[in-house]
Amino acid sequence: MLDNIILGFLQTKKLTAYDIKKAMEQSISYFYSNSFGSINPALKKLEKQQYVVCKEVIENSRVKKYYKITKAGREVYSNWIKEPISIGRIKEESLVRLFFMGDNDNDSRNKIIFDYINSMIETQKTLKQLKEHFSQIEVPEESLEKVKFQLATLDFGIDYYNFTSKWFKKLIPKGNK
């Protein structure tokens, strides 16, 4: 999947590995994570497959590698984006921890759940601030459809943390809420 994500970010302009990582952090990091160390091998693989080309440029006395998507890369990306979406597994650490939460004492359990709910509420606030920020940006007409779907992921995150925090609140005994 990382290969296709990289190709997606390269659709509009050439980027360095660092630029790709920053773009990922600022957009999809709430629902997809990877390490910076995985981007460079993926770029090398894409370059070997001739889906991207690399050009080295000297900026401020430093060599920077800019990657640009090729016609073949655009075709691969286009095919991927048109595939049906399959249902993925839920990979949620909190559910694994919850599965074993009965092995914890009552006070510890409640504190862990309270803290988790509070962190979700803070994350939701951050996402709402991002949404407010993006709502004030004027989007060019030709990008409206693309941005509509990108912002939908932000709405999903807000709704997800709202649902999840309410769901976890049900686990706290009535007298402790």
pLDDT in tens, 39-67: 999 999 999 999 999 999 999 899 999 99
Minimum mean pLDDT among 29-38, 68-77, 96-105, 127-136: which range?
A: 29-38
Helix (H) or strand (E) segment spanning residue 159 = helix 144-169
Q: Per residue in 117-148, pLDDT tens?
A: 999 999 999 999 999 998 899 989 998 998 99
- Comparing 172 with 33, the larger pLDDT belongs to 172
* Torsion angles phi and psi, residue 141, rounded to 5: -50, -40
At CA 155, angle to CA 124 and CA 92, rounded to 5?
A: 60
Please tell me the distance from the alpha carbon of residue 119 to that of residue 114, in angstroms, as a whole number.
Answer: 9
Helix (H) or strand (E) segment spanning residue 56 = strand 52-59
Q: How high is the pLDDT of residue 36?
A: 72
Displacement of CA 56 from its chain's centroid (Å): 28
Q: How high is the pLDDT of residue 93?
A: 86
Find the mean pLDDT for residues 1-13.
95
- Comparing 89 with 129, the larger pLDDT belongs to 129
Say if residue 20's pLDDT is above 80: yes
Under a CB-based contact definition with an 8 Å cutoff, are residues 9 and 15 in contact?
Answer: yes
Q: How high is the pLDDT of residue 177?
A: 55
* Torsion angles phi and psi, residue 168, rounded to 5: -70, -30
Model confidence band, residue 164 (pLDDT cutoffs 50, 70, 90): very high
Say if residue 95's pLDDT is above 60: yes
